[in-house]
Structure 1
Amino acid sequence: MGRVFVAGSINMDVVATAKRYPRIGETVAGDAVLYFPGGKGANQAIAAAKLGATTTLIGRLGKDAFGGELKAFLAAQGIDLSFVQETSDAHTGTAVITVVDADNTIVVIPGANAHVSVADVAAPVLTKGDIAVSQFEIPLPTISAFFERARAAGATTILNPAPAIEFDAGMLELADILILNESELGFFTETELHGTDAPARFIEAVRSLQSGKDKIICVTLGKRGVLAFINGEPLIVPSRTVNAVDTTGAGDCFVGAIAAQLAGRKSIREALAYANAAASICVQRMGAAPSMPTAAEVEAVIAESHEQRMQVAAKPT
């Protein structure tokens, strides 16, 4: 069994729910304000840990109240926090999130996450079979150094290039698996994409990102499922129909689930189906980190889906 190492952000999510988003210069009344552990790095580590993977998080917290709360929460999820440092130079990362009808807008203030350094990611010892995961909420040179060390050790690297920002093409070469959503795909390929576009448009955009058939690219498409490129060939994994409440952590859940499955020696095709089921559970709950499902919950959903398919197949035509 491999291990999952996540180098990434740790935030406190301040979530406001409302009936609609305010226009520029407008104030609207909200319904509630909620506080949830979050940050893409923490979310992905929590997902991997709750799904059974031995998981280590590499990151930074501020020496403040949010930092203390987050550290206690992460420890309770069974995550190795040996490489999470406290810094007095900045506050704990914070995300201000507005949720309307299960969709969201997010403003992230990096705080201590901006101090995650090359030295921080040099400390953990990775080996062949491990999975190294990172995102764009920590400095890019740190991610490159982390992936270079992972590659040298024979580990598999997963890059979630979110939020979408400009980056050097060399980093793309360091990623064995690229996982992004449709808006990020549009940003990186300079293509205007919409959820209603035909699959061919997304396939064309993904092909422009591929630097070789060995790289796996997964595009999460929300209600439309997942488009994956494996060995240069497209694969569409359909979504599950659920009553979504909050999509904030769905992408991170998907990434963490992929990492956990690969660490458990599952194939990428098996991992995709599993991660899709995990994300469908996540969106039915409020908050990012607290909404991550357990392995038992995902297995129950997969078993239920299998049973439904068997019943349909057994019906006379």
Structure 2
Amino acid sequence: MSIVIFGSINMDMIAQTPHLPQPGETVIGDHFITLPGGKGANQAVATAKLGRLTYFVGRVGGDSFGRELLKRLETLKINTQGVFIDQKTFSGVAMINVETSGENTIIVIPGANGNIDESDITRLEKILSKTSLLLLQLEIPLAAVEMAAREAKELGVTVMLDPAPAPEKLPDRLYPLIDIITPNQNEAEKLVGFPLDNEEEIKKAANVLLKKGVKIVVIKLGDKGAFYATDKEQDFVPAIKVKTIDTVGAGDGFNGGIAAALDRGLCLKEALKWGTIVGALTTTKEGAQTALPDLDVVHSLLLSDNSSV
């Protein structure tokens, strides 16, 4: 089958620095680059590099960034017929500060992403019937995310939501439309309203989300791996050890890995292995899309007994 990603596409403007600035502090950085990004586009690149037929639906502005971003997707053979070029505004950008340890802070300016509306849903509808899975994030208007999830649900397409950046609250009517939700620890804390400081609280958070109507909950725990829960089973998924350089895009790689594996017909546990490997490998290189691994690299790690890279 194939996967459709409905979401954001940005130009990432990345500054590397010995440490992240505190409020009011000026820090001299080491390096600056611009790279294609946006959570939606990152996830599209992840699934495409993992060998899946991938459609992307979203918006870019009528500027040089927009042309460059589309060219990047098309180079990877991602179908961009569902992308609208919004001549009335600029393309989305993300201002990213990355410190030596790999930790980062990000400011996203939505640009064209913020204008996504019902007309984009019309373009999405034409593609959904060709796909097995719809992958969503929250860097586009929440109303559009909800409309997309509803359309996919009616067509029997699996809906996967990466609730990032997490709002203080998602509408309760959205949860039953979601088959798989994949918050990280901080995002899960926002969604359930209490801290996840230990295993019991993590399990409790997953059960809260299940009771809201989600079929599968996957909580990303960084270098501690992940936790998943359904109404029948729950367990922790161990991380693989890597030398982290840059954590930008790791969550997108994790989601792309899961989506690609499910589109191949693999079971949930196998899909979680894919997600864990792809997410970890993404942290070993600079940037987001440029750091995402291809299928051969993931296959070689799946076939080995190594738990570190």
Question: Is residue 2:43 matched to residue 1:40?
Answer: no
Output aligned runs, 1:269-288, within 5 Å: 269-288=269-288
Distance apart, 1:213 and its partner CA? 7.9
The answer to whether the Cα contact below 8 Å between 1:128 and 1:154 also exists between their aligned partners in 2 is no
Please, what TM-score do these two structures have when normalized by structure 2? Answer: 0.95
- For residues 71-110 of structure 1, the C-alpha deviation after alignment (integer angstroms, 9 at most, x for no partner) is 1111111100000111022110000001011111100000
Unaligned stretches of 5+ residues in structure 1: 310-317
C-alpha distance in 1, partners of 2:18/2:214? 45
The answer to whether the Cα contact below 8 Å between 2:3 and 2:131 also exists between their aligned partners in 1 is no
DSSP 3-state at the match of 2:201? helix
CA RMSD of aligned residues (A): 1.6
DSSP 3-state at the match of 2:149? helix
Q: Does the C-alpha gap of structure 1 residues 8 and 214 become closer, same or farther in structure 2, counting only changes over 3 Å? A: closer
- For residues 140-191 of structure 1, the C-alpha deviation after alignment (integer angstroms, 9 at most, x for no partner) is 1111111111111111000111001132111111100001100000111111
Q: Which has the larger radius of gyration?
A: 1
Letter paired with 2:80: L
DSSP 3-state at the match of 1:170? coil
The answer to whether the Cα contact below 8 Å between 1:213 and 1:230 also exists between their aligned partners in 2 is no
The answer to whether the Cα contact below 8 Å between 1:18 and 1:99 also exists between their aligned partners in 2 is yes
Distance apart, 1:199 and its partner CA? 1.4
Could you say which residue in structure 2 is the equivalent of 1:172?
175
Could you say which residue in structure 1 is the equivalent of 2:266?
266
Unaligned stretches of 5+ residues in structure 2: none
Please, what TM-score do these two structures have when normalized by structure 1? Answer: 0.92
The answer to whether the Cα contact below 8 Å between 1:4 and 1:53 also exists between their aligned partners in 2 is yes
Question: Is residue 2:129 matched to residue 1:127?
Answer: yes
DSSP 3-state at the match of 1:24? coil
Q: Does the C-alpha gap of structure 1 residues 273 and 246 become closer, same or farther in structure 2, counting only changes over 3 Å? A: same
Could you say which residue in structure 2 is the equivalent of 1:221?
221
Could you say which residue in structure 2 is the equivalent of 1:208?
208
- Find the partner of 1:145 among 138, 144, 147: 147
The answer to whether the Cα contact below 8 Å between 2:278 and 2:293 also exists between their aligned partners in 1 is yes
The answer to whether the Cα contact below 8 Å between 1:60 and 1:116 also exists between their aligned partners in 2 is yes
The answer to whether the Cα contact below 8 Å between 2:175 and 2:212 also exists between their aligned partners in 1 is no
Could you say which residue in structure 2 is the equivalent of 1:162?
164
The answer to whether the Cα contact below 8 Å between 1:122 and 1:149 also exists between their aligned partners in 2 is no
C-alpha distance in 1, partners of 2:90/2:131? 35
C-alpha distance in 1, partners of 2:85/2:11? 15
Output aligned runs, 1:1-317, within 5 Å: 2-100=1-99, 101-123=101-123, 124-127=126-129, 130-165=132-167, 166-193=169-196, 197-211=197-211, 215-305=215-305
C-alpha distance in 1, partners of 2:122/2:155? 12
C-alpha distance in 1, partners of 2:13/2:304? 34
Distance apart, 1:22 and its partner CA? 1.3
Count of residues paired in the alignment: 304
State, as a whole percentage, how many aligned pairs show the same letter.
Answer: 35
C-alpha distance in 2, partners of 1:18/1:214? 39
Q: Does the C-alpha gap of structure 1 residues 212 and 111 become closer, same or farther in structure 2, counting only changes over 3 Å? A: closer
C-alpha distance in 2, partners of 1:6/1:211? 26
Distance apart, 1:128 and its partner CA? 7.7
Q: Does the C-alpha gap of structure 1 residues 22 and 150 become closer, same or farther in structure 2, counting only changes over 3 Å? A: same
- For residues 227-262 of structure 1, the C-alpha deviation after alignment (integer angstroms, 9 at most, x for no partner) is 001334321110001100111101001111111111
The answer to whether the Cα contact below 8 Å between 1:133 and 1:157 also exists between their aligned partners in 2 is yes
